[in-house]
Structure 1
Amino acid sequence: MTIPAPLTGVVPPVCTPLTPEGEVDVPSLLGLLDHLVTGGVHGLFVLGSTSEAAYLTDRQRRLVVETTVAHLGGQLPVLAGAIDMTTPRVLEHAASAAAAGADAVVVTAPFYARTHPAEIARHYRRIAAACPVPVLAYDIPSAVHTKLPAGLVLELAADGVLAGLKDSSGDLGGFREVVTGVRARPGVTGFSVLTGSELIVDAALAVGADGAVPGLANVDPHGYVRLDRLHRSGDRDGARAEQERLCALFGLVDVGDPARMGGASSAIGAFKAALHLRGVIACPVTAEPQVPLSPDEVARVGKYLAGAGLL
């Protein structure tokens, strides 16, 4: 299907359920997709950071896209991450995702080698020229160590290179610059500006964001859809109250002991533990070499779920 221009609403970055052996758990993935569709989401983003795309083999990446597209049958737009270090490798991922049926691809700046803005622009132009589906930029400096300049994003949007931006930079000022620039710049139409933050969706929508890509929406899709609906109906107080409930729930990402695991192990482990406790996926295992949560930490996840009315 063709993605809406702009794409609006809640577009969760879908977790990738795994078996204890580390393979994609297809039945659990199907169950998670049904859980999200039932929650009323407006699109799905597979092979992002929350999807553990960096840990998956090319074969597993392709399986995730094929399974998602086949199961949805065109009900919702499917965005797929085409994330890798260099332009040639991203081109291969983008071609694979498009051939598997993805409606758009989401691409970071190159990484490992430090890149100049001119090289980042060249990267996106090469990919957009070769890719048969729209390309969205993914701004995640915590992972790629490069912040996408707002001016560069707007230039590429005006030139028709980029169809949207998923902003996970945490820079609300820069995000606002893109939002206002899209409205003001001649030639930019249908460009989707999406926040990747779980915690400031109400604020992002208030400054003009089109939607959100929050990892926590795997756990509570209804909550984020409700927040989006409240905002669009003009009930800003209701949206703020729902955002505050979700902020409290988001505390589950910190259950992991920082002395023995990184933040990603804790956050992804908590999302998967929550999905397992809710009966959505069969196994909460995360990809190697991430450190699994302890039973006590999983129990703490359960307390957050109970506090949010999800158990």
Structure 2
Amino acid sequence: MTTTSRPFGRALCAMITPFTATGELDLPAAQKLADQLVAAGCDGLVLNGTTGESPTTSDTEKTALVRAVADAVGDRAAVVAGVGSADTRHTVTLARAAEAAGADGVLVVTPYYSRPPQPAVEAHFRRVADAVGIPLMLYDIPARTGTRIEPDTLLRLAGHPRIAAVKDSAYDLLTSTKLITRTSLAYYSGCDELNLPLYAVGGAGFVSTVANVAPRELRAVLDAYDAGRVTEAARLNQQLAQLVELMMASGLPGTVTAKALLDAGPVREPLQAADREATGALRAAYEELTRG
């Protein structure tokens, strides 16, 4: 069965978390950015993910951010809250708090570091799904977690009524294509360079770090493809390539590069701000894209 489900829309931004100059959570800035992103075409905002610096924000900050952004965007966009951790009980606590704060869904990453076997991975996701009343987006990113969500595990999890989507950062387009065909899971690209290829084989859309700075340009690729203008979609996608490469494959984390372009306050250690040379290259690529 080929999925046509888009439980959180098509164009989702993995939103940064703004901080003040002294490193405190800046909720007014987060609300302003959220409003701008939605106005620029984002159907959903994913908070407290990798790009949102979740490893260095407290549980209290995570919940406050979800509540503030949900209040700011209302029913204009879906709010998906990252709640993943290496501890199932902690993940359940975060998921319930996010739901109470107004999240429309939760993003749950594979437990990391301990490298649980597949039955334990499956049990972890089921525990979270059973604990909340909102849909889950599973986050498959083995390069960071050390553990893949194996295809057979995903096939079983697809039968759970609240497991609705996958953020796909596994860099395995063939397996993703097969799972899109065999399940009703909505597959969202978690790798900006694969947004269009995954969409073309039946993906639901993207969860993009680059969308923090180029939401209209990224959405335009999907709009052109949906309108049957495949050549135009490819051209628009190609125009994004240099910015995507500099933001996501230059050796700097996407959080760092996005904040360098947005001037959205500091990053929290151990991350460090982009230097002048990197920032200059990013700005040049961004200006070239937006001029085109």
Q: Same fold (TM over 0.5)?
A: yes
Q: Which runs of 5+ in 1 are unaligned?
A: 183-187
* Stretch of structure 1 that moved more, 97-106 or 158-167: 158-167
The corresponding residue for 1:116 is 117
| Aligned: 1:174 with 2:175 | yes
Preserved CA contact (<8 Å) 1:40 1:222: yes
Q: How far off its partner does 1:20 sit?
A: 2.2
On the 8 A contact 1:84/1:110 being kept in 2, the answer is yes
Query: Residue 209 of structure 1 corresponds to which residue in structure 2?
Result: 203
Structure 1 letter corresponding to 2:214:
D
| Partner Cα separation in structure 2 for residue 90 and residue 163 of structure 1 | 18
Q: Structure 2: which amino acid aligns with 1:39?
A: A
**Cα root mean square deviation, aligned:** 1.8
Write out aligned runs for 1:134-145 (5 A): 134-145=135-146
CA distance in 1, matches of 2:40, 2:226: 17
1:100 aligns with 2:101: yes
Verify the 8 A CA contact 1:48 1:81 in the aligned structure 2.
Answer: yes
The 5 Å alignment of 1:134-173 reads 134-173=135-174
Equivalent in the alignment of 2:258: 271
The answer to whether the aligner puts 1:307 opposite 2:288 as a matched pair is yes
Deviates more, 1:68-77 or 1:156-165: 156-165
Structure-2 separation of matches of 1:75 and 1:6: 14
C-alpha contact 1:44 1:77 (8 A) present in aligned 2: yes
Give the deviation of 1:255 after TM superposition.
8.8
For residue 132 of structure 1, what is the aligned residue in structure 2? Answer: 133
Partner of 1:41: 42
User: Given that residues 63 and 101 in structure 2 are in contact (C-alpha distance below 8 angstroms), is that contact kept between their aligned partners in structure 1?
Assistant: yes
SS at match of 2:139: strand
Between 225-234 and 172-181, the greater mean CA deviation after superposition: 172-181
Asked if the contact 1:255–1:300 (Cα under 8 Å) also holds between the matched residues in 2, the reply is no
Spell out, residue by residue over 1:106-155, the C-alpha distance to the aligned partner (whole angstroms, 9 max, x if none). Answer: 10121221211100111111111111211121101122111111221121
Task: Quickly say closer, same or farther: Cα 1:130–1:62, change in 2 above 3 A.
Answer: same
Verify the 8 A CA contact 2:243 2:282 in the aligned structure 1: no
Contact 1:23–1:60 under 8 Å retained in 2: no
- Separation in structure 2 between the aligned mates of residue 296 and residue 148 of structure 1, nearest angstrom: 38
Cα–Cα, structure 1 residues 118 and 47, in superposed 2: closer, same or farther, change >3 Å? Answer: same
Matched with 1:24 is 25
* CA deviation after TM superposition for structure 1 residue 160, in Å: 2.4
- 1:58-92 deviation per Cα after TM superposition (whole angstroms, max 9, x unaligned): 11111110110011122111111111111101001
Q: Match of 2:64, SS? A: helix
Opposite residue 288 of structure 1, the aligned amino acid is E
CA separation in 2, counterparts of 1:78 and 1:290?
25
Question: Contact 1:164–1:193 (CA<8 Å) still a contact in 2?
Answer: yes
Give the letter for the 2:163 counterpart: L
For 1:218, the aligned partner's letter is: N
Question: Counterpart of 1:133 in 2: which secondary structure?
Answer: coil
Q: What amino acid does structure 1 have at the position aligned with 2:99? A: A
- Give the paired residue count: 288
**In the alignment, is the contact (CA less than 8 A) between 1:200 and 1:243 conserved in 2?**
no
Matched residue SS, 2:29: helix
Residue 185 of structure 1 corresponds to none
Aligned to 1:88: 89
Identical residues among aligned pairs (%): 27
2:244 aligned with 1:250? yes
Tell me the TM-score normalised to structure 2 length: 0.93
Q: Amino acid of the residue matched to residue 286 of structure 2?
A: L
Tell me if the contact between 1:125 and 1:161 (Cα under 8 Å) persists in the aligned partners: no
Cα contact 1:69–1:102 (8 A) shared by 2: yes
1:224 to 2:205 alignment: no
Of residues 270, 273, 282 in structure 2, which corresponds to 1:289? 270
- The answer to whether the 8 A contact 1:124-1:161 is kept is no
Equivalent-residue separation in structure 1 for 2:59 and 2:231 (angstroms): 45
Equivalent position SS for 1:199: helix
- Unmatched runs of 5 consecutive residues or more in structure 2: none
Deviation of 1:251 after TM superposition, in Å, equals 2.8
One-letter identity of the residue aligned with 2:261: A
| In 2: Cα distance, 1:203 partner to 1:96 partner | 35
2:58 paired residue number:
57
